[in-house]
Amino acid sequence: MPNMGPAGWASLAQGVRMRDRASEEELARLFHPHLLALAASRLGDRETAREIAQEAILAVLEALWEGRVREPGKLPAFVVGTGRNMIRDYLRRKGRRPKPLSLGSDDASISDPASGPCETPPLEKKEERDGVFEALRELKPADREILFLTLAKGLSPREIAVEIGLKSETVRLRKSRALKRLRRKLKSLTRKGLLDHI
Amino acid sequence: MDCKRIEHEEVVEKYLAGRLDRAEREEFEAHYLSCAKCQEELELVRAIQEKLWEKGEELIEETAQPSRTLRVRKAWAFAAAAAGLLMIIGAAVWWQAKGPGRPPAGPQAPPSSWIALARFEPPLFIPPALRDEEDEASQLFRSGMAYYQAGRYGETIPYLRAAARLDPNGAGIRFFLGICLLLTGETAEGIEKLGATISLGDSAYLEEAHFYRAKALLAQMDVDGAKSELRWVLSEGSDLKEEAARMLALIR
């Protein structure tokens, strides 16, 4: 996995702009899971989620080919923003609101899109978005770094172990504990309606 | 794929980090798109990933002191271990060369000095005068080398990689890419890139590529390889000749 700081994202964006096939595939590999997860959680309809994720990837590729991405170092924000816009457009066309995020609920299955509009309105405020940031901030610095290397840089526990000088088993354990803490914290935020921010 | 396996094998994180192969990915998607529990877990980790993409570096910069300290300590431990290993291997080589019954060899440099010989200061980069029209590879090279001049070698690498893709015959691009890789600990790939610079033939970077490749090979304890590169530098009679001769004398 390449080092995906702003320079790495800019390099990937540049590769796509140059129609480098490997860069295009890398972009899809990195972002498609994220977009599909985003769409699935908001739409609750697997086929539509697949279509939207696919369309969002294509829209990002087109924007890069045509040089329309102004800050290639912030490629993830552009990709996620594109996905969100497409979901919003879809919901607007269908006259629906997004499916509420239900962390900690006991839902047995994903709701049927035909079952009508969801009740929870979208939450847009900045402080609501910052719930995740604050939860991350409360973690121990080493745990935060492990999560960063895992999720933002895509490193395996073994690679992280080499990077920060811990045993890979310790990395795995700390990551698991950190996620557990975040899960607890974010579930309480969700109950207060602070997480869903489409 | 079931929930238990997903939890046990950390499938959600691997999925979002792009570390599942195609079959695993499809299997997981088929599961989570019909499993509320896994979808919730995925949404949680996705929200964290998004925030880390957006503000992760800021968060790490803020309070990374403890793990940095750990990393520095680890780096020193590694350096000490490497020095120890070099000394042991060097002593073994020396012992074999000297061996019982063999005539006494000439003065030997202590193997620990190889470490010092393998170290190098980043070669100076003087930006070329600006041309009216720069191609894309040159633009990338220039952007990357701005990081190089600021001592940010890791951040230079992606630019030079992208530039190298566009300009396969750019000796300067390959040379500085090799140097940056060496400076960030990617020694094997650094050696390879310097080799690629050499294989491009005569260029402004040819002698330096041989010279720094010798240092990198020495860091990997490939003494014969290092000697061969140093002999090449000597044979060319360049500015680096004296330093190459001194190194050769010490590792003989």
ipTM score: 0.74
User: Distance between CA B59 and CA B99 in Å, rounded?
Assistant: 57
Residue with tokens 């260029």: B203
- Contact call for residues A45 and A62 (beta carbons, < 8 A): no
Q: Which residues of A58-91 are buried (b: 16+ CB within 10 A; e: fewer)?
A: eebbebbeeeebeebebbbebbbebbbebbeebb
Q: What is the mean pLDDT of residues A155-169?
A: 83
User: A80 and B53: CB-CB below 8 Å?
Assistant: yes
Q: Which of A5, A76, A182 sits opposite B48 (nearest CB)?
A: A182
B57 contacts on A by Cβ (under 8 Å) = 5-6, 148
User: Distance between CA B158 and CA A147 in Å, rounded?
Assistant: 23
Q: Which residue of B has its CA nearest to A108?
A: B36
Query: What tokens were used for B218?
Result: 């020495």
DSSP string of B72-137, one letter each residue: HHHHHHHHHHHHHHHHHHHHHHHHHHH-TTSPPPSPPPPTHHHHHHH--PPPP--PPPPPSS--HH
Q: Which residue of A has its CA nearest to B40?
A: A103
User: Distance between CA B187 and CA A98 in Å, rounded?
Assistant: 50
- Helix then strand then coil, in percent of chain B rounded to 5, is 75, 0, 25
> What does the pLDDT read at residue B211?
93
Q: What is the mean pLDDT of residues A145-170?
A: 84
A128 has a pLDDT exceeding 70: no
> Within 10 Å of residue A132's Cβ, how many Cβ atoms?
25
B49 contacts on A by Cβ (under 8 Å) = 34, 151-152
User: Distance between CA A90 and CA A59 in Å, rounded?
Assistant: 15
A103 has a pLDDT exceeding 60: no
Residue with tokens 């979208």: A122
Q: What is the mean pLDDT of residues B66-80?
A: 44
Dihedral sign (CA A180, A181, A182, A184): positive
> What does the pLDDT read at residue B130?
57
* Terminal alpha carbon distance of chain B: 60
Q: Which of A104, A154, A175 sits opposite B19 (nearest CB)?
A: A154
Q: Which of A2, A151, A165 sits opposite B45 (nearest CB)?
A: A151
User: B36 and A41: CB-CB below 8 Å?
Assistant: no
* Residue A192 DSSP label: T
* Angle (nearest 5°) at CA B29 between B25 and B30: 120
* Angle (nearest 5°) at CA B172 between B169 and B177: 100
User: Distance between CA A198 and CA A184 in Å, rounded?
Assistant: 21
B252 has a pLDDT exceeding 60: yes
CA distance A92 to chain B (A): 22
Q: How far is CA B203 from CA B129, B192, B198, B210, in A?
A: 18, 17, 8, 12
User: A46 and B136: CB-CB below 8 Å?
Assistant: no
- Calculate the CA A195 to chain-centre distance: 13
SS3 (DSSP) at A91 = helix
B66 has a pLDDT exceeding 70: no
Q: Which residue of A has its CA nearest to B49?
A: A151
Structural element, H or E, at residue A30: helix A21-43
CA distance B77 to chain A (A): 10
Position B216 confidence tier, pLDDT thresholds 50, 70, 90:
very high
B140 contacts on A by Cβ (under 8 Å) = 14
User: A151 and B60: CB-CB below 8 Å?
Assistant: no
Residue B227: half-sphere exposure toward Cβ, Cα within 13 Å:
9
B90 has a pLDDT exceeding 60: no
Amino acid at B165: R
Q: CA-based Rg of chain B, rounded to a whole angstrom? A: 24
Position B181 confidence tier, pLDDT thresholds 50, 70, 90:
very high
B22 has a pLDDT exceeding 60: yes
Contacts for A77 with CB less than 8 Å, ≥ 6 apart:
B53, B54
Query: What tokens were used for B188?
Result: 């094997």
Q: Which residue of A has its CA nearest to B36?
A: A109
User: A164 and B42: CB-CB below 8 Å?
Assistant: no
- Contact call for residues A73 and A6 (beta carbons, < 8 A): yes
The overall average pLDDT reported for chain B is 78
* Residue A115 DSSP label: G
- Calculate the CA A141 to chain-centre distance: 22
> What does the pLDDT read at residue B20?
85
Position B131 confidence tier, pLDDT thresholds 50, 70, 90:
low
Q: Which residue of A has its CA nearest to B19?
A: A154
- Contact call for residues A161 and A168 (beta carbons, < 8 A): yes
Q: Would you say the pTM of this structure is higher than 0.90?
A: no
CA distance B73 to chain A (A): 9
A4 has a pLDDT exceeding 50: yes
User: B158 and A7: CB-CB below 8 Å?
Assistant: yes
Q: Which of B46, B55, B73 sits opposite A38 (nearest CB)?
A: B46
> What does the pLDDT read at residue A161?
83
User: Distance between CA A92 and CA A160 in Å, rounded?
Assistant: 43
B159 contacts on A by Cβ (under 8 Å) = 7, 10-11
User: Distance between CA A90 and CA A50 in Å, rounded?
Assistant: 13
Q: Which residue of A has its CA nearest to B13?
A: A151
B63 contacts on A by Cβ (under 8 Å) = 141, 144
User: B54 and A163: CB-CB below 8 Å?
Assistant: no
Q: Which of A37, A156, A164 sits opposite B42 (nearest CB)?
A: A37
Size of interface A-B (CB pairs under 8 A): 164
- Contact call for residues B118 and B216 (beta carbons, < 8 A): yes
Q: Which of B16, B20, B142, B145 to mutate to test the interface with A (most CBs of A within 10 A)?
A: B16
Q: Which residue of A has its CA nearest to B64?
A: A141
B101 has a pLDDT exceeding 80: no
